[in-house]
Structure 1
Amino acid sequence: MKHTEDTYLSADGLNLYYQVWRPDETPKAVIQLMHGYASYSGRLINVVNELIPRGYVIYAADHRGHGKSEGLELYVKKFAKFIEDQKIFFDLIREKEPNLPHFILGHSMGSTIAEQFVATHPELEAIKGLILSGVGIKIGTIHGFKKALAKFLALLASKKRVTVDEAEKLSHDPEVVEAYRKDPMVSKKPTVKIGVEFANACSKANKLIGQIKIPTLVQFGSEDIVMLEGEKFVKKLIMPDKTIKKYDELYHEVYNESAKDRKIVLKDLGDWLDNHL
């Protein structure tokens, strides 16, 4: 496996960091990963470790204001900027991998970005499938604020920050929880504005989901309390080729669950991809 790092330029001039993991053999498809809120691309390493041996090349960028990318930490003026950034990243990937089938994988907030990206760009015929993890109709809380209060505060002080510790809601694996809490790359003090934008984006994405026609895999835990109402979400999917994987008792980060559970989840992911080439 070969690992490289680089940056690309957003439309408004931010340097956005990305990583590429390439198998030793000629890859059979490319995966564009979209990580979750307050996280960064490297926290999807279990996905990388599952798919590289299967022959996939993986591209993953840190969203603006996240990880190693530029931008005010955990702040976005408009959620649409995340979708715009991913379109630029998509074009970069297609330049480098013009002949490979292209799959989009989004987790948590990344799934909301992925939904909107695919729904609003039906012309991108290279995209052969969509994988959504940690999905829901709405987020459980706006990180300490009720929605109405958060909207009010966003108008008054959109860059005001709150302290967040939701690690125990992510995984049953105590090592994952502890690593998350200690990880300096994980943002612990989001702005009110990004919470409001994320909540509004969930509502918009759930209205757009019916426009997605490409093959789709959804993976979520039955005990996810970060993104709510996953079962209601999947009922909105109308594409003819859809696969729903609900994992009993798992939490929000199904790819980072306990070893025995994530092994099942990751195998389901890899098998679905292999069957859609």
Structure 2
Amino acid sequence: MTTTSPTSPDDLTATTFELAGHAGALHGKAWEGIDPTYVVLLVHGYGEHVGRYQWVAEKLVADGAAVYGLDHLGHGRSDGERVLVADFEPVVDDVHLLFERARAEHPQLPVVLLGHSMGGMIGARYAQRYGAELAAVVLSGPVIGRWDAVEALLGADEIPDVPIDPDTLSRDAAVGQAYVDDELVWHGPFKRPTLEALHREIGLITDAGRVDAVPVLWLHGEDDQLVPIEPSRGGWQHLAGDRAEQRSYPGARHEILNETNKEEVLGDALGFVHRHLPAAG
């Protein structure tokens, strides 16, 4: 099923579609201008959905990208119990389904992956498994190395019903308010099977080690209180290959693509991508 609908009268039109994921139907979006020159796969974070990346998609399309994203199992408009993910390896497989959809529609274009937070974790594992199929990977505030919040919650007898603090997302208060008001965002507690799966996947990425098949860029806010930079840096040291690059942003919080310096962040990401896209023939 494919439908086309604008998210608002002034916004770039998004095409919606469904993919048959590993445990149910996955809701997808695609944004595209005229004659794109490359493809970007957007991989969203925990509890959110790909519709929150409208601004990013618009900027990418203006740069020449065809942009594809999907709501993970249990997220947004996709099937599944809310935020319940028992194993992230099949979620990586779901992202590969998205790659195959994009490749079928644009068989000659290079493909880039951009993953944020938990989506950065998924993107890191995707790079380990499928990196040779990609031109570049950008990880924004990725959950790699260690996430102390997961360790603490797993050690609790009962998971507290405490939602993510919107103030940790951005210095722009409007970002946090939009997050709170978004009915497709999960505002409840973590679920123990998801925490266990996160813990396993982080360890699996560390054990699998460096990525040399594709250039990878790590971006992180230095005042990220949700996914602190130092544990992520530890994971990056295991992951970074010969063509890896990194950049951090003083004062920036977790959602650097929604931060007050978001133009700078996306500019850095696009500069990296263009350095690694194949030359047009």
TMscore range, shorter length? 0.7 to 0.9
SS where residue 122 of structure 2 aligns? helix
Contact 1:213 1:238 in 2 (8 A): no
For 1:28 and 1:165, the matched residues in 2 are separated by 37
For 2:173 and 2:50, the matched residues in 1 are separated by 21
Q: Does 1:95 align with 2:104?
A: yes
| Equivalent position to 1:5, from 16, 19, 31 | 16
2:91 corresponds to which residue?
82
Structure 2 vs 1, CA of residues 263 and 30 (structure 1 numbering), >3 Å: closer, same or farther? same
Once the 2 structures are TM-superposed, how far is the Cα of residue 18 of structure 1 from its aligned partner? 0.4
Structure 2 vs 1, CA of residues 212 and 113 (structure 1 numbering), >3 Å: closer, same or farther? farther
Contact 1:222 1:247 in 2 (8 A): yes
User: Normalising to structure 2: TM-score of the pair?
Assistant: 0.87
1:157 corresponds to which residue?
none
For 2:238 and 2:90, the matched residues in 1 are separated by 25
How many equivalent residue pairs? Answer: 262
1:213-245 CA-partner distances (Å, limit 9, x unpaired): 311111101111222323323323442212211
For 1:126 and 1:197, the matched residues in 2 are separated by 26
1:267 corresponds to which residue?
267
Contact 2:137 2:217 in 1 (8 A): yes
Once the 2 structures are TM-superposed, how far is the Cα of residue 41 of structure 1 from its aligned partner? 0.3
Contact 1:104 1:127 in 2 (8 A): yes
For 2:209 and 2:65, the matched residues in 1 are separated by 26
2:26 corresponds to which residue?
16
Contact 2:206 2:239 in 1 (8 A): no
2:3 corresponds to which residue?
none
Once the 2 structures are TM-superposed, how far is the Cα of residue 161 of structure 1 from its aligned partner? 7.9
Q: How does 1:1-277 map to 2 (within 5 A)?
A: 1-12=12-23, 14-23=24-33, 25-122=34-131, 125-135=132-142, 136-142=144-150, 145-149=152-156, 162-189=161-188, 190-228=190-228, 229-258=231-260, 261-277=261-277
For 1:238 and 1:217, the matched residues in 2 are separated by 9
SS where residue 275 of structure 1 aligns? helix
Contact 1:20 1:60 in 2 (8 A): yes
SS where residue 131 of structure 1 aligns? strand
User: Normalising to structure 1: TM-score of the pair?
Assistant: 0.88
Contact 1:161 1:191 in 2 (8 A): no
For 1:187 and 1:54, the matched residues in 2 are separated by 31
Unaligned runs of 5+ residues in structure 1 are 154-159
Once the 2 structures are TM-superposed, how far is the Cα of residue 29 of structure 1 from its aligned partner? 0.4
Q: Percent identity?
A: 24
For 2:13 and 2:181, the matched residues in 1 are separated by 27
Unaligned runs of 5+ residues in structure 2 are 1-11
1:8-56 CA-partner distances (Å, limit 9, x unpaired): 10134x1100000001x21110001100000100112232122111100
For 1:46 and 1:233, the matched residues in 2 are separated by 29
Once the 2 structures are TM-superposed, how far is the Cα of residue 120 of structure 1 from its aligned partner? 1.8
Contact 1:37 1:109 in 2 (8 A): yes
Contact 2:26 2:78 in 1 (8 A): yes
Contact 1:234 1:244 in 2 (8 A): no
Contact 1:171 1:254 in 2 (8 A): yes
Contact 2:86 2:196 in 1 (8 A): no
